[in-house]
Structure 1
């Protein structure tokens, strides 16, 4: 996934109210408020003074024309925009980055299913039949090389796990794919100290037959691209 236009650099002043971030731009020293498309806590990724990258929209209907895209943390560039993982996982599946999810005939996004939900990716046809794929963004790292999910309590995430289990019970395949938007992690674990209920729901889903995969990304100011498998230590 390439950014359509060059990103602007700056320094983070603060991230607040979940979806807002004040940033001082390097180009002219002006302070702007950017949209922060990330509902999580962004634990470890909101240190004031951190180097950041923002995109600029030319849509006149947008209240905030800047979007917070990347932050430098622990010596690495980390993607924080949670609007991208579905697209990135789609690109990864089409490129064969998850061999277990290959062999389908059609791929659709945001298809209604379950209890008033939409599945992130639906794979149909081919040798595996119908496969329901839920995508989760990951960017928490508290130990070098180890990505963790979630970074805050996610009742919605537990609900999705239960719905994937229901699809398996109906005779379909279901898979959880964790998309690690940082280049410095090669393993994934659950942050069960942050959300023990999610960890419990995850264990139940695995027992029910839900498959689990994780893939990592390279992150640059030019593009975010799936480039490797990440081992799941759960």
Structure 2
């Protein structure tokens, strides 16, 4: 099994090479074996990162010839800056920021949330509880946090949470979440979500802040052990 940190570092290296112009359109990348040996990582890690870059249109792979930088890679990196930022952000970096920022956002949500916003939060909780798979539960988990951000009716807060959810959609997050979530932990998360929404509906800023912080610290501990 590959290390999430190793995969993240290798991905970041290649993106930085493309962004800086050290790798130009048409340049041939080293072979999978060469990259594996240079970075002392498994070829499965190399293949996964190259596959991601190919899906983004940043590289092309020609059977029997090799892997090449796409001619418009630089333009695509500039146009998709937010998406690239999500690709470069590790799950640990995301949680570090979430624990600091999301509790603070609760006050804005309480100040501006409408009855329609609270109905959407309740729906996210119900859909998460009814989810038959972890992937479906994770989707509605992320949707709840995004709905709370939307309830601030603040465009910057909305955009910030959209970027955070983009990181959650990366494969690294899903792998870690799958390893850490047990049926018992999922039940705890569901109750924490319900308690948080209740505090928001009661317009209790202090309780909502404390509940969000405790929830995120719990998720971080389960995922990373600290």
Q: Which bracket does the TM-score occupy, shorter chain normalised?
A: under 0.3
Q: Which has a greater percent of helix?
A: 2
Q: Which has a greater percent of strand?
A: 1
The structure having more radius of gyration, on CA atoms, is 2
- What is the TM-score of this pair, normalised by structure 2? 0.24
